[in-house]
Structure 1
Amino acid sequence: MLNIQEVINKYFKSVLVNEDENFIEFIVEPKGDVAIEDAFERLYTELVGRYNHAIILFRDNSNYVLRVSRRTQGTQSRRRRMIIAALFIATIASVAYAGYLTTQYFNLAVLSIGLGSLKLNIFVSTILFTLAVMAPIMVHELSHYYVARKSMVPVTPPMLIPAPIVSPLGTFGAIIGMKHLPKSLKDLVRVGLAGPLAGTILSYMIFTAMYMISPVVSYSAVSEAISKGLMQELHVLTLGAVLIMKVADVLGYGGSEASTVILNPPAIAALFIILIHFINLLPLGQLDGGHIFRGLTSMRTHKLAGFITLAIALVTAMVVPNLLWLGIFALLAFLITGLRAHPGAANLESKLPKKNKVIYSLIYAILLLITAPIIV
């Protein structure tokens, strides 16, 4: 049986002050000239990373108190692995079906206005649609997973959520369970940023490629399709998408004064994924944006930002009908993950170095800016 105090004593001088059936508490002091943050990180790596015991460090007056859970975090069961695999397969099937339906609708629209030459190959378009959805989602989640594991944060593998029929993409994305708080605010921000950064970059790469191969047709043909209810104008884009479209137009891949681009199904899917990244970046509760913002600020500021963000999203949804979805998703995110305070890191006294705060804040701001919806 593991002697917890023996492990603690490798890095701290410790005195047992309290224990019950769930927790053990020690007053601790780092050995020698080692900083408290460094000693805690080393202990975290061993107790959490190796032995799966949850730990928290906090200050009580002039003393540092270390609280250790007696129970260990469970390991991945075979049944859970099978569920994850089954959901992965179901999600691919669900997304592919959504791609098939979207392609069929696209082909019907172009045929109805006499543009049969623009008809897409069902198989190829479905595959590209599936990749446009699944690749950014998986890269997003695996980036979280990789950075978390590298930081010794115990997390579950990504669990995909199939959503046939109810979602235009065939999925509600994926979730990763964080079994314990990261050891420091720096790790919290790094884990939070990793997914949106990787997912947004890949989504824009896919959108760019798919936009450049989307058909260019005359405004009169598009107007006819819209009047028949077979096509809809896109009233919501993102700043990044607008910039890409402007550059593509200059390079001769876009529309002109007499023509416009009809986004093919994979391009539409990539655009939707980018907008989903924006929602996920909002500083709300346990969303990625919530983790990032909590790491950059305080518990109180994070909670206040959540209320302000929700209020802005709801007002925007009421004023701008095309952004109704933003208010709905913000409200759901707040109700599900935003009602409880975000504790931050396992080291409750952790501080984010100023240099890191500036860099991470800049990355976060850029991600919000390029994924934010704009009305066109």
Structure 2
Amino acid sequence: MDEFEEPRAGPPIYALRSVFRVYETHREGDRLLYYGDPIVSPDVLERHVWPLFRDAGYEVTLQVRTGEHVLVAEPRSTGLDGVPWKNVVFALLTVVTTLFAGVEWYGATVSLDDPLSVLQTWPFAAAVLGVLGIHELGHYVMSRHHDVNATLPYFIPVPTIFGTMGAVIKMKGRIPDRKALFDIGVAGPLAGLAAAIVVTAIGLQLEPVAAGPVYGIGELNYPPLIRFIAASTGADLNPPGARVNPVVVGGWVGMFVTFLNLLPVGQLDGGHLVRAMLGERQETVAAMVPAGLFGLGGYLLLVQEVELQAITLWFFWGLIAIGLAYAGPATPVLDDELGARRMAVGVLTFVLGLLCFTPVPFTFVI
């Protein structure tokens, strides 16, 4: 492109004059580069130029290259570009790890002569993957609704007690406003929690399995929501001489993940919600989260005299919360207020999250 030649696809130069004085433009592959001098603060500049580039089909960022300010506009897309092979491979690997994790929960036997015998644990794998997958798909669907570029869920296969460390989606585009940030943040916990409730209710109607420690765990402790479901359906969470069906464990995992994700700090779902609900005041809330987690662990250890093994989780998450608080939450481009309806949904979501909390999630066999 020659100097001051109007870009063919991006916003015209005159539309930027009130915030960015352009003196040169270039095309770099699919990207458009606008070199110039900002005449307002970066925040004001972004709020002005972002919708112009978004309407033209681009995501824009202000960068400094060799001492020059440049608006870099990259084509944006919210659709899939071919088969998402990485997502597929990670999902298949997680199916394998959750199937093998289910072997211990069922007390099953898998023979090397018949490796497909591991498929007998498919209800456990389906419960865990279904709850986690629906949680992340809630985020993905709402991202598409608000035209924000996001990946499909990435499952994390790890040969642990549950066979996975969860699933994540990656947000590639900026969040337009607080409403979009709230909707994307709240969709995952609500969708995942609905799936966890259904899975738990189904699992409580299935046959219990033989009692005994699993992965060194003596027993899972159930949060109020699972206890309420059991009471409502007339099911027994502690069947005599047995353990509840492992499908219930899938619901337990979903509720536990919901609670952790709703911690109001950083890039967690709770951090998104509080940022959308309170704006920059979210920083005050986030700063209290690590102290609260360390305090919970200390109270259980020193006052309730719970074994350290059973509460190490809260000290671990306290450290994670420090890092998340330091990194900060997602920041929407337009920092406008939320309406009363979304505020009410946010409060309800946090209440539901508390119903998924239990101070000592599990105890160990010593």
TM-score by length of 2: 0.74
1:152 equivalenced with 2:165 (yes/no): no
Equivalent residue number for residue 354 of structure 1: 340
Matching residue's letter, 1:278:
F
TM superposition shift of 1:209: 1.0
Contact between 1:125 and 1:265, CA under 8 Å: does it hold in 2? no
The DSSP-based 3-state class of the residue aligned with 2:18 is strand
- State the superposition RMSD in angstroms: 3.9
TM-fit CA distance, 1:343: 5.2
Per the alignment, do residues 123 and 341 of structure 1 end up closer, same or farther by CA in structure 2, a change over 3 Å counting? closer
**Which whole-Å deviations, capped at 9, do the CAs of 1:311-340 have from their partners, x for residues lacking one?**
1111212332433313313422442x3212
The C-alpha deviation readout for 1:179-236, integer Å capped at 9, x for no partner, is: 232111011010000011000110111011112224399xxxx6xx57x9987233x2
- Cα 1:352/1:80, change in 2 over 3 Å: same
**1:303–1:68 CA distance, 2 compared to 1 (3 A):** farther
Higher RCO (C-alpha under 8 Å, 6+ residues apart): 1
Q: From the superposition, tell whether residues 200 and 125 of structure 1 become closer, same or farther in structure 2 (CA, over 3 Å).
A: farther
Distance 2:182 2:319 in 1: 23
Letter in 2 for 1:238: P
Structure 2 partner of 1:254: 236
Q: For residue 143 of structure 1, report the CA deviation from its aligned partner.
A: 1.2
* Matching residue's letter, 1:364: T
Q: Residue in 2 aligned with 1:52? A: 58
Letter of the 1:163 counterpart: V
- Identify, as 1 or 2, the structure richer in helix: 1
Is this contact kept in 1: 2:196–2:250, CA < 8 A?
A: no
SS at match of 2:137: helix
Instruction: Tell me if structure 1 keeps the 8 A contact 2:264–2:272.
Output: yes
Counterpart selection for 1:241 from 220, 226, 246: 226
Query: Residue type of the partner of 1:157?
Result: L
Q: Does the CA-based 8 Å contact 1:216-1:260 persist in structure 2?
A: no
Aligned to 1:91: 94
Amino acid at match of 1:327: F
Alignment-mate amino acid for residue 268 of structure 1 = V
Does 2:143 correspond to 1:143?
Answer: no
In the TM superposition, residue 90 of structure 1 has moved relative to its aligned partner by 1.1
CA distance in 1, matches of 2:73, 2:157: 33
* Mapped pair 1:281 → 2:262: yes
Map 1:150-189; keep pairs closer than 5 Å: 150-164=145-159, 167-189=160-182
Equivalent residues in 2 for 1:213-228, closer than 5 Å:
213-215=206-208
1:318-357 counterparts in 2 under 5 A?
A: 318-320=298-300, 321=308, 322-335=310-323, 337-342=324-329, 344-347=331-334, 349-357=335-343
Output the CA distance in 1 between the equivalents of 2:81 and 2:299.
49
AA aligned to 2:172 is K
**1:146 to 1:2, Cα distance in 2 relative to 1, 3 A:** farther
Determine the structure 2 residue equivalent to 1:72.
Answer: 74
**2:27 corresponds to:** none
Instruction: Give the corresponding residue for 2:205.
Output: 212
Alignment partners' CA distance in 2, 1:304 and 1:214: 47
> Are residues 1:304 and 2:304 paired?
no
Identity of aligned residues (%): 19
CA displacement at 1:2 relative to structure 2: 4.0
Q: Which moved more, 1:205-214 or 1:130-139?
A: 205-214
Bigger drift between 318-327 and 153-162 goes to 318-327
Measure how far apart 1:155 and its partner are.
1.2
Q: 1:265 is matched with which residue: 246, 251, 258?
A: 246
Unpaired runs of at least 5, structure 1:
28-35, 57-66, 109-121
Q: Is the 8 A contact 1:53 1:69 kept in 2?
A: no
Provide TM-score, normalisation by structure 1. 0.72
Judging changes above 3 Å, is the alpha-carbon distance between structure 1 residues 240 and 77 closer, same or farther for their aligned structure 2 residues? closer
Deviation by residue 1:134-187 (Cα, 9 ceiling, x = unmatched): 1111111111111111101111222111112xx211111122111232111011
1:203 counterpart letter in structure 2: A
Tell me, which stretches of 5 or more residues in structure 2 are unaligned? Answer: 1-6, 24-32, 63-68, 111-116, 301-307, 362-366
- Equivalent-residue separation in structure 2 for 1:314 and 1:131 (angstroms): 34
The aligned counterpart of 2:194 is: 201
The DSSP-based 3-state class of the residue aligned with 1:157 is coil
Instruction: Judge which range, 207-216 or 258-267, deviates more.
Output: 258-267
Does the CA-based 8 Å contact 1:49-1:154 persist in structure 2?
no
Aligned residue pairs: how many? 321
CA separation of 1:93/1:203 partners in 2, compared to 1, >3 Å: closer, same or farther? same
Report if the CA contact (8 A) 1:214-1:263 is conserved: yes
CA distance in 1, matches of 2:274, 2:230: 31
